[in-house]
Amino acid sequence: MSARQRVAAIEGWYTLDEPAHLLGSRCNSCGSYYFPRLSAGFCRNPACEGTSFETVPLSRTGRIWSYTNACYQPPPPFVSPTPFVPFAIAAVELAAERMIVLGQVVAGIDVGQLKVGMPMELVLESLYSEGDTDKLVWKWKPSGVRP
């Protein structure tokens, strides 16, 4: 039996363990969070001169700020299955970090099942596949619902 390989579609943005987390930066001076992680060593808070950051896992749960779906096939660099399958998208507010993070919603959930304020949790799912390799990405899933 050949196991499918699981690799990150975007390296360094999230962990691949279960349960998965997004990886953010937290300023050691003011505590502001950043996602994706800061590439330059300077805090973006204009009142902070911080230059050191810790890589931290972000909250895995939050509430829907808004949501929609993609009914038309997006252009590259999106890699589409053939035929294209529409998917839902959610913007989810993380309470502890006080920030909103966008992402696809897991397969099988459509906009009719979503609502502003609904609790969501982070999971890994395939963004696209190449041969026997699944390119994984973070997706949002209504809390307590089995994908």
Q: Which residue, 9 or 123, is less far from other proteins as judged by CB?
A: 9
Contact 147, 90 (CB under 8 A): no
- Residue numbers 105-144 binding other proteins by CB under 8 A: 111, 115-117, 127, 137
- CB pairs under 8 A, 24+ apart, for 26-35? 26/53, 26/54, 26/56, 27/52, 27/53, 28/52, 28/53, 28/54, 33/58, 33/97, 33/98, 33/99, 35/97, 35/99, 35/101
Give the residue, chosen from 68, 113, 133, 143, that forms a contact with other proteins under the rule CB under 8 A.
68
H or E element, residue 121:
strand 119-130
By CB under 8 A, tell whether 104 contacts other proteins: yes
Asked if 83 interacts with other proteins (CB under 8 A), we say no
Please tell me whether residue 46 binds other proteins under the rule CB under 8 A. yes
Among 56, 99, 107, 123, binds other proteins (CB under 8 A): 99
| Structure-block tokens of residue 76 | 């590259």
Note the residues at the interface with other proteins (CB under 8 A): 9-11, 13, 27, 30-36, 39, 44-48, 65-72, 74-79, 87, 89, 91, 97-104, 111, 115-117, 127, 137
